[in-house]
Amino acid sequence: MNFTKIICVLVLTCFSFSCKEDPASPDNACTPITSAGQDIELINPIGGETVKQGSTVKVQWKVNKNKISSVVIQLSTDNKKNWKDVVQRIAVNGNDGEFVCMEENWNVGSEYETIGYSTTGETKVFLRVGKYGEANSVNATTPSTISVVP
């Protein structure tokens, strides 16, 4: 009696930082919520979330490592008029392809003195990931606000 063995191997390419992946995408790339084709594309948060001061939010983005060497994460409490750094100068790393997926934790409330959150109600913020030193011109921003509550 002859037996035929079929062995299937699934290979998953990992970047230096993990992030949410789109299994329907042909190259299994990160799925951004901001416009495709930008040098920075935001994945998470998407806006509309409510987060508590003292919690941790995973900020995820896709970045063109050939054009951007470091990024900054910023918040705005005045409808995107002014921005304050939450996490400064994150180096862009990765070996595969032009774009890499990255993530960094935002410890909500650690920037309390800089941001000035409400102690009694919610503070609505926009979050963006921008090119370090050029965040006003090269960035990806949540399309709606995130509510920060005490």
Which tens digits make up the pLDDT trace of 69-119? 999 999 998 999 999 988 888 888 776 668 888 899 998 887 655 667 777
Token output for 135:
């965040």
Q: How far, in Å, CA of 150 to CA of 146, rounded?
A: 13
In a domain, 18, yes or no: no
Q: What is the pLDDT of residue 101?
A: 87
According to the model, what pLDDT value does residue 31 have? 60
CATH of residue 126? 2.60.40.10
Residue 53 pLDDT more than 60?
A: yes
Task: Write the burial class of residue 89 (CB in 10 Å: 0-12 exposed, 13-18 middle, 19+ buried).
Answer: exposed
Number of domains within the chain: 1
Which residue reads 């990765």 in tokens?
94
Measured in whole angstroms, the distance separating CA 73 from the mean position of its chain's CA atoms is 8
Q: Count the Cβ atoms, other than its own, within 10 Å of residue 147.
A: 15
Q: Is residue 113 part of a domain?
A: yes
Pair type for strands 123-131 and 139-141? antiparallel
Strand partners, 42: 61
Mean per-residue pLDDT for 123-129? Answer: 93
Q: Which residues of 54-74 are buried (b: 16+ CB within 10 A; e: fewer)?
A: eeebebbbbbbbeebeebbbb
pTM over 0.75: no
Domain assignment of residue 101, yes or no: yes
Is residue 31 within 8 A of residue 20, CB to CB? The reply is yes
More confident residue, 135 or 21: 135
Q: Which of 34, 18, 21 is nearest to 144 (CA)?
A: 34
Assess if residue 124 is contained within a domain. Answer: yes
Task: Using alpha carbons, list the distances in angstroms from residue 116 to 85, 119, 149.
Answer: 13, 9, 12
Cβ contact 84:76 at 8 Å: yes
Could you tell me if 50 and 34 are in contact, meaning their C-beta atoms sit under 8 angstroms apart?
Answer: no
Domain of residue 110 covers: 40-149
Q: Is 26 a domain residue?
A: no
Domain assignment of residue 48, yes or no:
yes
- pLDDT computed for residue 1 by the predictor: 45
Is 9 within a domain? no
Residue 34 lies in a domain: no
pLDDT of residue 133 exceeding 80: yes
Rg over CA atoms, the chain? 18
The predicted pLDDT at position 52 comes to: 92
